[in-house]
């Protein structure tokens, strides 16, 4: 059975070009980047090259790139690194749990947190953020693109409001990486972002790698204490192979975004959506009216439990998700979907399909053959669907 992988928001495969770039730093150039001998200098040069590659991706200075172990650490560093007891922070109800759980912990330490709601499309409206500002607001953290629905936030407007209130602005851009241009330069869409999070394994780099962009005028307290690595912002010996892989992946993403690749990917996503909606009744696309990243669609299938459908599809060779992979096995419905106003029942009937630049039209066509039969089979077992069909 040839498997079809449509769960790229959970993780992406390691590209061969990325693996080949990493290989020498496992076996030959294994020096510590802090050592001054030749092996150390080779490692340091590789780390510096990767930092420059990511800086070009973000249109920032290389010195503003801090290497971390991934999105969760970067999000936590952004929050814990600038907030102190008595400060006020604003975030949204649809953030990744790396933000939400960190915010809950900060509350227990004396930081005041406001969780602003979203509209039915999963968007934070600028006037809602404006109304939440307080004199002691120190930080606003709003994600760029949602991991479940793909909805893109009006990030420029939100960040400008934060700055008008003398607050710093951080964005979790993990799901925007490799899908949207990330320009923090004075003329870029992210020009007001003071900090930005990226994760390597979402852009075809290895797991356990990530970055936090920190604008040069932002003072950041480290979470780890040890050596003076990363300009004293993140102690610990650098993961040289992982950093090299992240840098190579950033280069490939930067080049791909200059091509017609994003438009082709969006066309495949639309083909999948239209095929599902035309073949299967009582379905709908969450955040359909919002701007979304090209690869993501969140679709509900009424009268079906998403978990049962996911398992049925997995047995047919199709890998998808019921929402965030970080919440796999959770008994509660998606906090993102319920924040958008979906009922618990509909939230539990939702699947996320997340494509990548490796997805083919043939794979989409195969999904459109597999999915309707799987839904029909499960609905045949559903009392609510039988009752609905009989009454029509």
pLDDT in tens, 100-148: 999 999 999 999 999 999 999 999 999 999 999 999 999 999 999 999 9
- Report the C-alpha gap between 311 and 325 in whole angstroms: 14
pLDDT of residue 372: 98
- Report the C-alpha gap between 307 and 313 in whole angstroms: 10
The conformation of residue 281, written as its DSSP 8-state character, comes to: S
Q: For the whole model, what pTM was predicted?
A: 0.95
Active site amino acids: 326
Tell me the Ramachandran region of residue 213: left when phi exceeds 0, alpha when psi lies from -120 to 50, beta otherwise. Answer: beta
**Tens digits of per-residue pLDDT, 52-93?**
999 999 999 999 999 999 999 999 999 999 999 999 999 999
Nearest Cα to 295, choosing from 264, 319, 325, 322? 264
Three-state SS string over 109-156 comes to CCCEEEEECCCCCCCCCHHHHHHHCCCCEEEEECCCECCCCCEECCHH
Q: Is 324's pLDDT higher than 90?
A: no
pLDDT of residue 81: 98
The distance of Cα 46 from the centroid of its chain, to the nearest Å, equals: 26
**Which SS3 state, helix, strand or coil, does residue 100 take?**
helix
**Tens digits of per-residue pLDDT, 152-210?**
999 999 999 999 999 999 999 999 999 999 999 999 999 999 999 999 999 999 999 99
- Report the C-alpha gap between 382 and 187 in whole angstroms: 54
- Report the C-alpha gap between 359 and 184 in whole angstroms: 29
Per-residue confidence at 392, pLDDT binned at 50, 70, 90?
A: very low
**Tens digits of per-residue pLDDT, 28-55?**
999 999 999 999 999 999 999 999 999 9
pLDDT of residue 385: 84
Q: Is 390's pLDDT higher than 50?
A: no
Check the CA dihedral 77-81-83-89 and report its sign: negative
164 φ/ψ angles, rounded to the nearest 5 degrees: -60, -25
CA distances from 167 to 70, 75, 129, 140 (A): 25, 17, 12, 7
Average pLDDT, the chain: 95
Sheet containing 283-286: give its strands across: 283-286, 296-301, 350-354
β-pairing, 112-116 vs 168-172, is: unpaired
| CATH class of residue range 16-256 | alpha beta
121 φ/ψ angles, rounded to the nearest 5 degrees: -95, 0
b/e per residue, 21-55, with b = 16+ CB within 10 A? Answer: bbeebeeebebebeeeeeeeebbbebbebbbbbbb
- Write the CATH number of the domain with boundaries 4-12+259-391: 3.90.1150.10
Count H helices and E strands in the chain, helices first. Answer: 15, 12
Nearest Cα to 268, choosing from 362, 391, 151, 164? 362
Instruction: Decide if 136 contacts 356 (C-beta within 8 A).
Output: no
Strand-pair partners of 233: none
- Report the C-alpha gap between 2 and 363 in whole angstroms: 10
- Report the C-alpha gap between 68 and 70 in whole angstroms: 6
Check the CA dihedral 357-363-369-372 and report its sign: negative
CA distances from 47 to 38, 149, 223, 234, 308 (A): 14, 34, 21, 14, 45
| Every domain of the chain and the residues it spans | 4-12+259-391, 16-256
């Amino acid at each position: 059975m040839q498997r079809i992988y449509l769960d790229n928001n959970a993780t992406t495969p390691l590209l061969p070009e990325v693996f080949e770039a990493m290989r020498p730093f496992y076996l030959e150039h294994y020096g510590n980047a802090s050592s001054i001998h030749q092996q150390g200098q080779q490692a340091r040069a590789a780390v510096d090259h990767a930092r420059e590659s990511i800086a070009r991706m973000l249109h920032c200075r290389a010195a503003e790139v801090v290497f971390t172990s991934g999105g969760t650490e970067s999000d936590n560093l952004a929050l814990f690194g600038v907030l102190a007891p008595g400060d006020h922070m604003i975030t949204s109800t649809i953030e990744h749990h790396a933000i939400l759980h960190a915010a809950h912990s900060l509350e227990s330490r004396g930081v005041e947190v406001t969780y602003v709601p979203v509209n039915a499309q999963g968007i934070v409206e600028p006037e809602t953020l404006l109304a939440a500002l307080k004199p002691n607001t120190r930080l606003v953290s709003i994600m760029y693109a949602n991991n479940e629905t793909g909805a893109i936030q009006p990030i420029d407007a939100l960040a400008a409001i934060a700055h008008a209130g003398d607050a710093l602005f951080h964005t979790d851009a993990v799901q925007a990486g490799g899908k949207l241009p990330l320009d923090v330069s004075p003329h870029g869409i992210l020009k007001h972002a003071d900090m930005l999070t990226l994760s390597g394994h979402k852009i075809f780099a290895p797991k356990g790698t990530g970055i936090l962009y920190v604008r040069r005028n932002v003072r950041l307290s480290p979470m780890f204490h040890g050596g003076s690595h990363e300009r004293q912002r993140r102690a610990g010996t650098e993961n040289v192979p992982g950093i090299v892989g992240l840098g190579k992946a950033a280069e490939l993403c930067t080049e791909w975004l200059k091509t017609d690749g994003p438009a082709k990917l969006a066309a495949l996503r639309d083909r999948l959506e239209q095929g599902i909606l035309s073949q299967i009744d009582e379905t709908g696309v969450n955040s359909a009216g919002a701007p979304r990243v090209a690869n993501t669609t969140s679709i509900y299938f009424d009268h079906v439990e998403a978990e049962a459908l996911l398992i049925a599809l997995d047995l047919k060779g199709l890998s998808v998700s019921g929402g965030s992979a970080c919440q796999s096995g959770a008994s509660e419905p998606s906090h993102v979907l319920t924040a958008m106003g979906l009922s618990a029942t509909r939230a539990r009937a939702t699947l996320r399909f997340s494509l990548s630049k490796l997805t083919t039209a043939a794979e989409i066509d195969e999904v459109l053959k597999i999915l309707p039969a799987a839904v029909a089979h499960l609905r045949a077992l559903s009392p609510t669907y039988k009752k609905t069909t009989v009454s029509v």
